[in-house]
């Protein structure tokens, strides 16, 4: 028997002995248990695939969705802060179901005097109230908001029965709408517009110091709820936090405003010559061909002049939008308007910004450029932006709609602004313009799954902001910016897969944590190339459709050949956090003398120490058997190894092989609930560094502790887990070996920062 065969036999016997030990340990406990593995597949949690939403995550051949077209005549009454509308709706039933009634969303009813929304939450008194808030809260004079429905008629002018339940209205059809049929009906309505500065809200008006107004108008018309093949009608009430589920359709909207108002909204203005001055119209045309820098359509001087006095009369803006899920607009006499053309492959898209004098210092420099950058970066990661324009409107809030969004950020009264204000403005514009992709096109159910629009959008926002200004928006703060939230009080945490109205920390739960999760998935687990392909696949599969969480999870796996169920389960279905540490490190050296540990293994099989075949053994430095002379020995010093190499490898093959000199036993512990990869950085005695990443699957058979052997040709001085803090590890105190000792001054500084 050759030496090589003896070595292989010895190794086989040792591995068999370890297996035998495991069997003996398992016999100690024979109680049955459920599969609680964190690598358990998600089949139980996800809905059963079908012909509409397939197992691959793609739309099935029987997938359908409804279409709703709107024709509206809208009148904005600036004197009374009132809006009224005459609305013709064409509902196309593309499903295979007969529909007995329709559900229409009346979101403005959140502000109705008898709305239960204000009584839904607890809380004590505020320390400060505006007059409006005080009156509304304590004097029995609530704001008279909510839709006033004047009539609801069919296309022949006949009244249709309806019933209003808070923010939802059921339209009782004269007869069911058959599959493939359409139904036309008309709603006439009006409501008082709220002051969103005083009463908050996603739309409304603000009054400038000079008495002029600016309107950001959204959720302003009765609009159809979604009917789909997942849950039927999506008619959950609107309570103010979780947003909207809407159908795609075509919009023809005429909006009558005071004559000196400037307006932009969803869609393309059909009559620019009628609503702009001759010079403004010329600049409007010029902007369509300007790609380098924004040009003014309405100049600052024109906006200032319009703000000085109210011109009598009205004018009507006509807008058209195709294949959009919603409609919004903004208007004021004090708006200036700049524009720039954006090239997206073979298509030109217009980037617009409208803002008052208060926003000029910041917005003239950045807003339209940020819109252009956002369209380019999001298009690169998903699909080319399909709409003809995207507008950013300066409003003191952030909110998004197809082709238009409202964004904050203004200088102070002296025209000064801080770096923080600038950063916040760029960030909110990127975020809200990005919403054109999620959920305005990849049309997830915001009311049910907030993270599918806010979280996914916040993730792509990180990439877009970095490309706009990498110094202002470094990616190094992600995902460690979520550590504070994830290690917080578990009683005030909810899984990402929670309906948005029922979580404590809406921002972190719906925006920050899912964005951090996807950042980790791209940068650390999948790698950008694999992630980006899968992500684009999801976006293209579900653009202009209604995806569910399962469609996202399944597509990301289907397009990458990666089993990510462990990741979705931990990050999205639990409130667990990540904490991986170094429990112990042992240094070993090579010897050809049997160690006591090896001898005990052989003895179990009746082989005494003097009968052990020639082998190589590892001895720990803290073992009694360790001797100083072993420190300098290399693997090549042992003839047993060199003989084996000479027998089995050519000179060319041996030239590419390097035998290690040191062996480190690394014991990793996982106090945290999440399973994550282990990223390890080794710093050698010569100052060089090396990294090794162990996959998350390393935890599949022991959720608390794993051991790895790391061979090295150089001695290691320091070992660090997650050196760049890229896994949201909530406790870094156990991430280094030798363990760093924290001084009293370090602890003092940490407490000062917390305070």
Residue-wise pLDDT tens digits, 39-81: 999 999 999 999 999 999 999 999 999 999 999 999 999 999 9
In this prediction, residue 342 has a pLDDT band, given cuts at 50, 70 and 90, of very high
Q: What is the pLDDT of residue 457?
A: 98
Judged by average pLDDT, the poorest of 83-87, 212-216, 655-659 is 655-659
Query: How would you classify the pairing of strands 262-265 and 268-269?
Result: unpaired
Does the pLDDT of residue 721 top 80, yes or no? yes
Torsion of CA 21, 24, 30, 36, to 10 degrees: 0
pTM score > 0.75 for this model? yes
Q: What is the mean pLDDT of residues 607-615?
A: 87
Q: 389-394 and 404-407: which strand pairing?
A: parallel
In tens, the pLDDT along 384-415 reads 999 999 999 999 999 999 999 999 999 888 88
**Mean predicted confidence (pLDDT) in 413-423:** 90
Would you state the pLDDT for residue 105?
Answer: 98
Confidence of residue 375 (pLDDT cuts 50, 70, 90): very high
pLDDT reported for residue 18:
45
Q: Cis ω on the peptide bond leading into residue 502 (within 30° of 0)?
A: no
Alpha carbon of 641 to those of 110, 182, 468, 649: distances in Å? 79, 82, 57, 12
Nearest partner of 709 among 656, 677, 668, judged by Cα: 668
How far is the C-alpha of 358 from the C-alpha of 334, rounded, in Å? 10
User: What pLDDT is attached to residue 128?
Assistant: 86
For 689-696, the CB contacts below 8 A with 24+ separation are: 691/723, 693/524, 696/525, 696/566, 696/567
Handedness of CA 501, 505, 506, 511 (dihedral sign): negative
Cβ(483)–Cβ(465) below 8 Å: no
Instruction: Please provide the average confidence, as pLDDT, over all residues in the chain.
Output: 91
Tokens of 188: 């006439």
Overall size of the chain counted in residues: 755
Q: Grade residue 310 by pLDDT with cuts at 50, 70 and 90.
A: confident
pLDDT of residue 141: 66
Residue 3 pLDDT class (50, 70, 90 cuts): very low
CB count in 10 Å sphere of residue 65: 19
Q: Distance of CA 159 to CAs 92, 153, 162, 165, 399, Å?
A: 20, 4, 9, 19, 35
- Position 755 pLDDT exceeds 50: no
Which tokens is 234 given?
Answer: 């999506």
571: Cα separation from own chain's centroid: 12
Per-residue pLDDT at 215 exceeds 50: yes
Question: Which pLDDT band holds residue 4 (cuts at 50, 70, 90)?
Answer: very low
Q: Give the torsion sign (CA, 25, 31, 32, 36).
A: negative
Q: Count other Cβ atoms within 10 Å, centred on residue 45.
A: 16
- pLDDT band at residue 752, thresholds of 50, 70 and 90? low
Give the model's pLDDT for residue 745: 52
pLDDT in tens, 484-522: 999 999 999 999 999 988 888 999 999 999 999 999 999
Q: Output the pLDDT for position 638.
A: 86
Residue 173 is encoded by which pair of tokens?
Answer: 């059809």
> What's the confidence (pLDDT) of residue 7?
45
pLDDT in tens, 17-27: 444 455 555 55
pLDDT at 438: 98
- State residue 83's pLDDT score: 98
Q: How confident is the model at residue 753, as a pLDDT?
A: 47
pLDDT category at 1 given cuts 50, 70, 90 is very low
Q: How confident is the model at residue 288 (pLDDT cuts 50, 70, 90)?
A: very high
Cα 289-295-299 angle, rounded to 5 deg: 135
Percentage with pLDDT > 90 across the chain: 76
When pLDDT is cut at 50, 70 and 90, the band that residue 29 belongs to is: low
Write the DSSP string, 350-368: EEEEEE-GGGHHHHHHHHH
Sign for the pseudo-dihedral over CA of 559, 562, 564, 565: positive
């Amino acid at each position: 028997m050759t030496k090589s065969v003896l070595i292989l036999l010895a190794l086989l016997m040792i591995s068999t002995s370890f297996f035998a030990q495991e069997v003996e340990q398992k016999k100690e406990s024979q109680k049955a248990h459920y599969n609680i593995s964190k690598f358990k597949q998600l089949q139980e949690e996800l809905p059963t695939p079908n012909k509409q939403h397939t197992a691959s995550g793609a739309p099935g051949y029987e997938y359908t969705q409804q279409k709703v077209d709107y024709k509206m005549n809208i009148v904005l009454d600036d004197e009374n802060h009132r809006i009224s509308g005459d609305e013709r709706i064409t509902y196309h039933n593309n499903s295979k179901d007969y529909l007995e009634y329709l559900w229409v969303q009346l979101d403005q009813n959140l502000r109705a005097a008898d709305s239960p929304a204000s009584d839904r939450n607890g809380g004590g008194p505020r320390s400060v109230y505006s007059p409006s808030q005080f009156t509304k809260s304590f004097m029995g004079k609530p704001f008279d908001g909510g839709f006033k429905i004047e009539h609801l008629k069919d296309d022949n002018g006949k009244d249709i029965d309806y019933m209003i339940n808070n923010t939802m209205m059921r339209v009782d059809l004269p007869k069911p709408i058959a599959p493939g049929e359409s139904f036309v009906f008309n709603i006439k309505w009006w409501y008082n517009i709220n002051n969103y500065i005083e009463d908050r809200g996603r739309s409304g008006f603000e009054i400038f110091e000079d008495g002029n107004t600016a309107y950001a108008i959204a959720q302003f018309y009765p609009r159809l709820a979604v009917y789909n093949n997942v849950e039927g009608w999506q008619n959950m009430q609107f309570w103010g936090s979780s947003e909207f589920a809407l159908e795609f359709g075509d919009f023809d909207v005429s909006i009558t405003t005071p004559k000196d108002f400037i307006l932009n909204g969803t869609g393309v203005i059909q009559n620019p010559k009628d609503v702009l001055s001759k010079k403004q119209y010329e600049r409007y045309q010029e902007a369509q061909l300007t790609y380098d820098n924004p040009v003014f359509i309405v100049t600052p001087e024109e906006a200032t002049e319009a703000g000085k006095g109210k011109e009598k009369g009205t004018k009507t803006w006509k807008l058209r939008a195709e294949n959009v899920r919603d409609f919004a607009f903004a208007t004021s006499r004090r708006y200036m308007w700049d524009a720039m053309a954006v090239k997206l492959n073979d298509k030109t898209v217009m980037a617009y910004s409208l803002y008052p004098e208060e926003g000029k210092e910041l917005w003239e420099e950045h807003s339209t450029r940020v819109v252009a950058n956002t369209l380019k970066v999001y298009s690169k990661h998903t699909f080319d932006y399909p709409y003809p324009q995207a507008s950013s409107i300066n409003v003191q809030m952030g909110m998004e709609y197809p082709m238009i969004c409202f964004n904050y950020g203004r200088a102070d009264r002296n025209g000064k602004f801080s770096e923080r204000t600038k950063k916040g403005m760029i960030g909110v514009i990127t975020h809200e313009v990005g919403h054109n992709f999620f959920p305005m096109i990849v049309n997830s159910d915001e009311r049910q799954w907030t993270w599918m629009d806010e979280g996914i959008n916040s993730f792509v926002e990180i990439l877009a902001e970095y490309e706009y200004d990498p110094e202002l928006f470094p990616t190094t703060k992600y995902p460690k910016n979520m550590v504070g939230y994830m290690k917080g009080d578990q009683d005030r945490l909810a899984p990402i897969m929670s309906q948005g109205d029922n979580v404590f920390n809406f921002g972190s739960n719906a925006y920050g944590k899912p964005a951090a999760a996807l950042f980790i998935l791209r940068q650390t687990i999948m790698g950008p190339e694999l992630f980006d392909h899968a992500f684009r696949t999801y976006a293209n599969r579900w653009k202009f459709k209604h995806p569910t969480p399962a469609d996202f999870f399944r597509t990301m796996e289907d397009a990458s050949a990666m089993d990510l169920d462990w990741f979705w389960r931990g990050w999205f279905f639990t409130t667990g956090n990540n904490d991986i540490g170094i429990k112990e490190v042992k240094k070993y050296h090579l010897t050809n003398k049997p160690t006591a540990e090896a001898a005990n293994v052989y003895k179990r099989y009746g082989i005494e120490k003097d009968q052990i075949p020639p082998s190589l053994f590892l001895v720990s430095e803290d073992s009694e058997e360790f001797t100083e002379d072993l420190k300098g020995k290399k693997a090549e010093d042992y003839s047993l190894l060199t003989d084996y190499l000479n027998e089995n490898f050519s000179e060319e093959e041996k030239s590419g092989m390097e035998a290690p000199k040191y062996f480190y036993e690394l014991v990793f512990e996982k106090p945290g609930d999440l399973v994550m990869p282990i990223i390890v950085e080794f710093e050698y005695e010569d100052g060089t560094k090396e990294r090794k990443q162990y996959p998350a699957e390393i935890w599949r058979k022991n959720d608390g502790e794993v051991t790895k052997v790391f061979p090295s040709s150089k001695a290691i001085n320091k070992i660090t887990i997650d050196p760049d803090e890229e896994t949201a590890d909530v406790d870094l105190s156990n991430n280094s070996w030798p363990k760093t000792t924290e001084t009293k001054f370090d602890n003092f500084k940490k407490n000062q920062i917390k305070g």
